[in-house]
Amino acid sequence: MSRTQLTLAALLIVQLLLIVLVRSPFSGAAGTVQPHALLPALDAVTPIRLQIVGSDERELTLEKRGDGWVVADLDGFPADKSKIEGLLDNLRGLKVRRPVVSGSRYHETFKVGNDDFEARLRLWDDSADDPRIDLILGTSPTYRAVHVRLAEENPVYEVRGLAAYDVRSDPGTWVDRQLVDVPAEHVVGVTVANDEGSFEIARRDGTWIVETPEEMQGLTLDDEKVSDLVEASRSIQIAEPVGAAAGDERETPGATVALRVQAEPEAATEIISVRVGATVEDNESQRYISRSDFDYLATVWESSIRDLLETKVLDLMPTDLDSESTSVQTP
C-alpha cells in the first residue's frame, strides 16, 4: 500500500471515529458540565404526599399529617418520620452532570419507561393537583448508583447514593417496627395471661418473686428464666403493619402481657400492655399484635413471642424446688 493510500485510510478512520463520537447516544452534550442538582424544585416545596410505585405495580402512599407522616393505604398507620425525611434529604442532595443518553428510544434499555421501571416516585406539595416531582428509577450500573429520568423529560442520568431499594412500595419499609422498646432494668413487674393460665411477678430488691397466684405469693423465681421472659416482653418488633385496630376476631387474645416500667427508683410506674392475637390467615408463622396505647394492628413473628404464649409461672421456678431460694419471702 502506497503512502497516499495509508494517509487516506488514516483520515477515513479518524472521520469514522468522529462520527461515532458525535452521533453516539451515550456521548451527551459536548464540553465539561458542572455537577448540578437533579431535583432543584425540592428546595422550594414542602412535601405533603409521596406515592411510590414498585416494578410489580404495587402502589404506596405516604401522607404528612400534622408533624408526622402516615401510611395512607393502611388507615393512617404511623410512618417513621426519620425514614421519610432521610429519603427527602437524599433526593435533595442528588447531583448529575451530562445525561447518559438523551433520546427516548433508549428508555427501555435503561428500564426508565413510563410503564417499565424499577421504581417510580411522585411527590406533591399543597400548591397543585399534579405532582411537583415525578422521578423514574431504572437499572443499576454499580452499587448505590441508578439510572433515573424525570417523567416529563427524555434525558437519562446516572446518580450515585441512591438505589431503587431505597424507594420501595412495601409499607413495612416506612414504619417504626419497634412496638415495645423498654430497657430491661426498667421492668419491675410482669403480668401474663395465656392459655396456660395467668400470673404476676415483681422485682423486689433485685430478686424476682411471685405476686399471684396467691398460693405461690412470695416464692423466689429463677433470675435467668425470668430474664428470658422479660426480654421477650420488653423488646417486640412487628413483622408488618396491618391498619387500624377494629376489635375483630384477629385481636382475640392468645396472650396478654402487661409490663410495669419504672425509669427511676422514685419515679411513677408506667404500664405497657400488649395483646397477642390470632394467627395470621395466610401465614401461620405470624400472629396479630396490638398495644393498649396504640390504635393500630400489626403482625409479629410467633417465634419471637413464643414465651408470652406458653410460659406459666411454674416454668419460672428454680430447677431445684427444694433449694432455699424457693422459700416464701415477705413482699
Chain centroid to Cα 250, Å, comes to: 23
Find out whether 331 and 202 touch, Cβ atoms under 8 Å.
yes
Q: Which domain holds residue 279?
A: 178-326
- The stretch 228-248 carries a mean pLDDT of 96
Residue 277: how many other CB atoms lie within 10 Å: 23
| 82 and 194, same domain (yes or no) | no
Say if CB 92 and CB 42 are below 8 A apart: yes
Q: Does the structure show a pLDDT above 80 at 35?
A: yes
In single-letter form, the type of residue at position 57 comes to: E
CA distance 209 to 222: 9
Q: Is residue 321 part of a domain?
A: yes
Cis amide bond preceding 213, omega within 30? yes
- Structural domains counted in the chain: 2
Q: How confident is the model at residue 265 (pLDDT cuts 50, 70, 90)?
A: confident
CATH number reported for the structural domain that contains residue 321 in this entry: 2.60.40
- pLDDT surpasses 60 at 14: no
Q: Are residue 160 and residue 211 in the same domain, yes or no?
A: no
Dihedral angle over CA of 230, 233, 234, 238, nearest 10: 150
Residue 131 lies in a domain: yes
Distance CA 143, CA 160 (A): 9
The band of 106, judged by pLDDT with boundaries at 50, 70 and 90, is very high
Total count of residues recorded for the chain: 331
Residue 135's pLDDT is what? 98
Neighbouring C-alpha atoms within 13 Å toward the C-beta of 92 = 12
Task: Judge whether 12 lies within some domain.
Answer: no
Instruction: Examine the domain organization and report whether 151 and 211 are in the same domain.
Output: no
Do 321 and 188 have their domain in common? Answer: yes
Backbone angles phi, psi at 216, to 5 degrees: -115, 5
Residue 206 lies in a domain: yes
- Please indicate, yes or no, if residue 24 is contained in any of the structural domains: no
Together in a domain, 143 and 232: no
Say what the pLDDT of residue 266 is.
Answer: 85
Domain boundary among 170, 190, 205: 170
Same domain, 233 and 150: no
| pLDDT (tens digit per residue) in 83-104 | 999 999 999 999 999 999 999 9
Give domain status of residue 18, yes or no: no
Residues 186 and 311 both lie in one domain: yes
- Give pLDDT tens digits for 137-170: 999 999 999 999 999 999 999 999 999 999 999 9
For residue 288, which of 272, 260, 309, 261 has the smallest C-alpha distance? 309
Query: Please, are residues 202 and 189 in contact by the beta-carbon 8 Å criterion?
Result: yes
Q: Of 42, 48, 41, which is closest to residue 62 (Cα–Cα)?
A: 48
Q: Write the single-letter amino acid at 113.
A: G
Same domain, 286 and 303: yes
* Pair 195, 136 in one domain: no
210 and 320 housed in the same domain: yes
Domain boundary among 145, 170, 195: 170
- E runs forming strands in 45-164: 49-54, 59-65, 68-71, 77-78, 95-96, 119-124, 133-137, 145-150, 157-160
Could you read off the pLDDT of 278-325 as tens digits, one per residue? 999 999 999 999 999 999 999 999 999 999 999 999 999 998 754 444
Q: What proportion of the chain, given as a percentage, has pLDDT over 70? A: 87
Mean predicted lDDT score pLDDT of the chain: 90
* Residue where one domain finishes, among candidates 170, 187, 221: 170
Indicate whether 266 and 223 sit together in one domain: yes
Cα distance between residue 205 and residue 220, in whole Å: 12
Full-model pTM: 0.82
The DSSP result for 212-269, as a single string, is ESGGGTT-B--HHHHHHHHHHHHEEE-SEEEEE---SGGG--SEEEEEEE-SSTTSPP
CB atoms within 10 A of CB 10: 10
Same-domain status, 209 and 227: yes
Identify whether 22 is part of a domain.
no
Side chain identity at residue 251, one-letter code = E
* Statement: residue 328 has pLDDT above 80: no
Banded pLDDT at 33 (limits 50, 70, 90): confident
